[in-house]
Amino acid sequence: MNTPRGARRTDTKLSDGRELIYYDPADEPSRVPLEDTRGLPAPQPQIELRTDPLTGDVISYATHRNTRTYLPPADQCPLCPSKPGNPTEIPDHDYNVAVFENRFPSFAGPGRTEVVCFTSDHNGSFTGLSQGQARLVVDTWADRTAELSARDDVELVFPFENRGREIGVTLSHPHGQLYAYPFVPSRMRTLLAQARKHQEIAGSNLFADVLAAERKEGTRVIGENSTWTAFVPEAARWPVEVHLYPHRQVAGIDELTRDERDDFAELYLDVLQRLDGLYGEPLPYIAAWHQAPVRIDRELGYLHLEVLSIKRAADKIKYLAGSESGMGAFISDTRPEDVAETLRKVGQ
């Protein structure tokens, strides 16, 4: 089948019943998926959700994740295409983008967790993707967002990427994840509460006003095109923090137009290349999409991507110590305007 934006989608099943979906450019031949011959047993995840009575935060206990694959050698990577002697989560011999249900999920019935493989190249990175390949990933995120948002047990769809050992990555193959939360996480509830307060006082959308202020002030903007702007936020928490906003308020990735998807891919690749040039080596980061919840306060939300790094210098890591971990009060060693200026110079 074809996704709404033209990428070709091919659905199949892994040997234990989990879904696997291939996304290919629409102009490529139709894919005939190969069979997963591993004979895996049906997954039996051990998951329990509890709510903290002091904060209202929902905590997921997924004890089976302790046994998940941890930094295997390249020739045993479970995200690479299958080869003789190494059957993987991807039975085919090659792929463009592949999505499958996580074998070690953080949520499952309710909710869902998926793995998104950005490329079949084990030694690649999102930064090194062509613009066309990056755009295919955007179409994949959009299709998954639309489908997962239609589920009765999903309240918010969260695509993200963890990159680098410093972040805690357990598989080095270029990939991200999708968490379809069965609840609205605390961070999003905090953002929406602030947006609601701003709407009542100013009569306008908080995120739109933040974007307008950053574009007008200009000193923290590091790149923009006709439909997107990338900037370091005025009150950045992390040593390196860049936000990417579309100029038009939309609730989710699936609502972006073709031009907006093209422009995002172009600007995001530029931002990632600047980040990798910051210290002359691949920067560890978390890239976190903020989409509006599925059912509540959608009118308050504003799709944007936040890219965060804990690296505060070439040889130093920002640890979340007493104030940050104990009280949630961040103390930063870097000034947002200085980070923005440095990132602009990297591009020169």
Contacts of 133 (CB under 8 A, 6+ apart): 96, 97, 118, 119
Considering only the C-alpha atoms of the chain, give the largest distance between any 2 of them, rounded to a whole number of Å.
63
**Is 175 an annotated catalytic residue?**
yes
CA distance 187 to 189: 5
State yes or no: 80 annotated in a binding site.
Answer: yes
The per-residue DSSP string of 179-198 comes to EEESS--HHHHHHHHHHHHH
User: Can you point out the beta strands (E) in the chain?
Assistant: 8-13, 19-24, 47-51, 58-62, 97-101, 112-117, 156-163, 175-181, 221-224, 228-231, 240-246, 285-290, 304-309, 311-313, 316-317
Q: Which amino acid type is present at position 54?
A: L
Residues 266 and 111 sit within 8 Å (Cβ to Cβ): no
The active-site residue out of 64, 93, 175, 198 is 175
Do 156 and 23 meet the contact criterion of CB atoms below 8 Å apart? Answer: no
Beta bridge partner(s), residue 306: 243, 288
Q: Is 77 annotated as a binding residue?
A: yes
Contact 79, 173 (CB under 8 A): yes
Q: Catalytic site residues? A: 175
Q: Which residues are annotated as a binding site?
A: 77, 80, 122, 173
Q: Which residues are annotated as a binding site for Zn(2+)?
A: 77, 80, 122, 173
